[in-house]
Structures are given as C-alpha cells and as structure tokens.
Amino acid sequence: MIKRQKLKVYLLPILFVGLMVAHGLDSIFQWLPEPDLQEKRALVEKPELDLSFLDPFPGDYERYYNDHFNWRNYYIRAGAYLNYHAFRQSALPAKVIIGKDGWLYKAGFQMKMYQGKYRFSPQDLEIIREELEYRKQVVEAGGGKYYLCLAPMKPRIYPEFLPDNVRKLNPQDCALQLVDHLNRHSDISYIDLFTPLQELKQRGSPLLYLKTDHHWTDYAGMLAAKVILDHLRQDFPQITGIDTSIIKFNTAHYNGLSLAHMLGLDQEMTENPPVYDGAMQFRALDGSRSYPIPAKFPFPEEYCMVRILPQADLPKLLMVRESFATPLIKLLGDHFRESVFLFDNWKHELHPEIIEQEAPDIYIQMIWEGMLFNLLPHPPREAGW
C-alpha cells in the first residue's frame, strides 16, 4: 500500500520532468517531424537583434517564439481534437465555426457580412456603383460588354447546418444591398448565381459546397458555368449553352480540407464531393500569357490561364476571377474563340492595361461575395479573409 502511494505521489512529477527533457532534446535534435497546419497566414519571422534599439525586441521575439516553439503544432492539434470531440467547439472560433453534422464554416468578417452585422452604408453603395460604372465604360470603350457575377458564400446556400447561435440578423446583407442598389440605379448587367444555386439545392441536387472548406464543388461550378453562358447568350446568340446531362461526375474521397486543416482536424474529418470525371474531353486547348505575376501570389501557375478554340465566329472572354472560378475554366473555354482568366490576387481590380491588350468582347468580373469589400477604395480595417 505504501509503495502504491509513493508511486502516485512521484509518478506525475516524473512524467512531467520526462516530458520536459524529451521536449528539450527534441528541440535540439528534431527527432519528431512537426505536423503541417494551414493557418492561412505567414508565420512571424525571427527578428533581428539591434543593440542600438532594444525596446521592441522582447515583444517581437515572443511573437516569433509563439509561432515556432517545438511541438507547437502537436499541442494545437491536441487542443483542437479535445475541443471538437469533447465540447464540439472550435479551437479557432475567430476563424472557423463548427456547424452541425460535420459542417465547417468560415468565421470572422465574412460571417459578419452574412449575418448582416456588417452592412454597406449608402455612401459605400454609391462608391461601388460609381466604380463599377467606370469599369463598364472602360470595357465598352474598347468594344466589349461588362458583366458582374457574384459567387455566393456557403451559408447562403446551406444555412441549415450553421450552429443555432449563428443567426441572420438582417435579411438584406451586403451582397443583396449591392444587387438591389445596382438594379435601382444602374444598368450594369448582373449575372445572378444565388437564385439558381438555391433552387437547385431545394430540388435535391448533389453536394454544392464542400463541408470542410468554404468553396463550392465541381457540380456547383458546372451550374454556374451554365447560368453564365445562358445569360451571355442574350447578347451573343452565337454562344452555345451547356448540356449538363452529358457531364459526368465521380465521388472523391478526401481528408478534411482547408477549414478542417486550420483546426488540425484534417485527419479526423472526411470529404466526399462530386468531382468531374477525369475522362472528360474538351475542345479548347491551353494557351499562355506573360503578364507579370504579383509578388508572393500563392498560385503563380493560375495567375493567367488561357483557353483557345479555333472558331472565329465566337466572342473573346476576359474574366477577372478568384478561386471560385477554377471549376468553370475548361467548361467556359469551350464556348469562346479565346478565353483569358486572370486570378488577380483577390484584388478585383479593373486591369485596363490588360483590357487594352486583350480587347475582349466580354468582360466578367467574378467576385466571391465574401470579398465585396475590396471594391471599396478603403475597406474596413477588420476586413480580410
């Protein structure tokens, strides 16, 4: 009995000391590889020691150490695992919301936009309208037509999987404010993707958005491409539509994607979305451009993607886009003599020099509604991904 009591007394301190020794040795010899975490930010770099100005160094080094100390990612994963499985809580509530039935949602400013906590002021709406009108004039001066297209955020299509404490506070959020303002005060041609996606989901479609990511699936991308082409055909009847019945899909099997990865739960969660059949054939061929790529752009191979179809009677397309347009590129490319897709680092700018160079018949500004604030000259300080 005495031996057991002594064991209980000394076991925890021995384990603690052993853990500290192992941690210290591993920080020197790096025996254990750190698991990867997708934090969607740059980790703090090691500060330089400036003996002539030491005041900021302690704080700067502490921030660096907090991002780089040994076993950091193991601790984050362990905390995320405990929070998720024991309490169904997010380890990063400012970035990721844990919904129902394994659904994850982007938190932060985008959720404030969806809920209506952040809304455009009347002045904001006028500034954006004037900017879009100017862009329309520039495109038309070059002989093209300007179109605005918004990709919806996931909770707009799947609100039912949000936790009960996340509710919409104002039915007219930023995107609906802007669309309503443009409908009443502008003749900008707006391509509505919200309604078709909502109607398709109500009819019982395959999965339209990824459960552990904020992006839509290939199936939603196919519908978006069809809606865009059907809208363009009103002005360009030579464009053909998409026969969705001949597009084949397979079911993919992934570990949890970006939102799960941010929580360190990518090994705990799974994703089974519809994806295009790899045997699909496309008529258009890849082209290329040599426009300068922005510094630190994370996807340089996707900055400017080009598709070419030798059919002179078809119009030319220029789309300024972001990642939501990726599943559309090959589908759209088969309906234009040339199509140029510019992924402009989420800036959503006009790019008049590229318009002059390309001389498109059709210019589409495709924006994820969560980035609409980038149309303002001075976005809110808290805005971002």
**Percentage, residues of the chain above pLDDT 90:** 72
């002594």: which residue's tokens?
6
How does DSSP assign 207-254, residue by residue? P-B-TTSSSBPHHHHHHHHHHHHHHHTTT-TTS----GGG--EEE--E
Cα gap 124→83, rounded to integer Å: 39
Cα gap 35→13, rounded to integer Å: 28
Least confident window among 76-85, 187-196, 211-220, 338-347: 76-85
Least confident window among 101-110, 187-196, 228-237, 375-384: 375-384
pLDDT higher than threshold 70 for residue 6: no
The helix/strand/coil state of 85 is helix
**How many other C-beta atoms can be found within 10 angstroms of the C-beta atom of residue 12?**
9
Cα gap 302→300, rounded to integer Å: 5
Compute and round to an integer the Cα radius of gyration of the chain. Answer: 25
Closest CA to 76 of 47, 26, 38, 116: 38
| pLDDT classification of 13: cutoffs 50, 70, 90 | confident
Q: What is the DSSP letter of 84?
A: I
Least confident window among 69-73, 223-227, 253-257, 283-287: 69-73
pLDDT of residue 99: 96
Strongest mean pLDDT among 18-22, 48-52, 335-339: 335-339
pLDDT of residue 72: 73
């464009």: which residue's tokens?
239
* Residues 302-361: tens digit of each pLDDT: 999 999 999 999 999 999 999 999 999 999 999 999 999 999 999 999 999 999 999 999
Higher per-residue confidence, 36 vs 321: 321
Instruction: Give the domain ranges of the chain.
Output: 1-31, 104-375
pLDDT of residue 92: 82
pLDDT of residue 41: 60
Higher per-residue confidence, 43 vs 188: 188
Record the pTM.
0.85
Cα gap 101→212, rounded to integer Å: 11
Give the pairing type, strands 338-343 and 316-321: parallel
Cα gap 139→132, rounded to integer Å: 11
pLDDT of residue 27: 67
Mean pLDDT of 31-41: 64
Closest CA to 36 of 210, 262, 270, 296: 262
Mean pLDDT of the chain: 91
Cα gap 104→82, rounded to integer Å: 17
Q: How far is CA 353 from the centre of its chain?
A: 26
pLDDT of residue 356: 98
- In the chain, where does DSSP find H-type helix? 2-29, 57-68, 72-82, 109-115, 122-141, 154-157, 174-185, 194-202, 218-232, 258-262, 329-333, 352-358
Higher per-residue confidence, 304 vs 12: 304
